[in-house]
Amino acid sequence: MTHKQLEEYVLSKVGAWLDYPFGEDVAVYKVGSRETGKMFALIPEGKEPVRVSLKCDPQLAEKLRETYESVQPGYHLNKKHWNTIICSGQVPDTELFALIDLSHRLAGESLGKAERLQLGL
């Protein structure tokens, strides 16, 4: 999976947009408005293999780490709620897309009610 393929899928999610709050080295994808946007995916620029950090349910996060060597605690993130996935092919693309969907949903749930309704979340 390439950075571009991941980015296309991430940006296809409702209300998703790209930001660089930590500098040019990390693409940060948020859901919500520019004022209240919540991070749901981070992709470091120029890493091979590509890595993506995603928000996750704590129990599922642990299970994924036990199942896949390429799933690690979130790099520079809350390790309970975030995983960093090395896109080496070990995690099937369909599962990776499902994890992006979950991360988007979890981040969207933390937006205010009015904003969730406006976005249809």
Q: What are the tens digits of pLDDT across the range 97-111? A: 999 999 999 999 888
> What is residue 32's predicted lDDT score, i.e. its pLDDT?
93
Whole-model pTM: value is 0.93
Buried b (16+ CB within 10 A) or exposed e, 9-46: bbeebebbeeeeeeeeebbbbbbbeeeebbbbbbbbee
Strands (E), 35-95: 38-44, 51-55, 71-73, 82-86
Distance of CA 110 to the CA centre of its chain: 14
The neighbour count for residue 91, using CB atoms within 10 Å, is 22
Confidence band, pLDDT 50/70/90 cuts, at residue 7: very high
- The predicted pLDDT at position 76 comes to 83
The number of CA neighbours under 13 Å toward the Cβ of 20 is: 6
What pLDDT is stored for residue 77 in this prediction?
84
- Structural contact between residues 52 and 43, judged by C-beta atoms closer than 8 angstroms: yes
Q: Record the tokens describing residue 6, joined without a space.
A: 């991941």
On the question of pLDDT at 117 being above 90, the answer is: no
For 32-83, write each residue's pLDDT tens digit.
Answer: 988 889 999 999 998 899 999 999 999 999 999 999 999 999 888 888 899 9
Q: What mean pLDDT is predicted for residues 82-96?
A: 96
Q: What is the CATH number of domain 3-113?
A: 3.90.1150.30
User: Residue 101 has what pLDDT?
Assistant: 97
CA angle (99 as vertex; 33, 94 as ends), nearest 5? 125
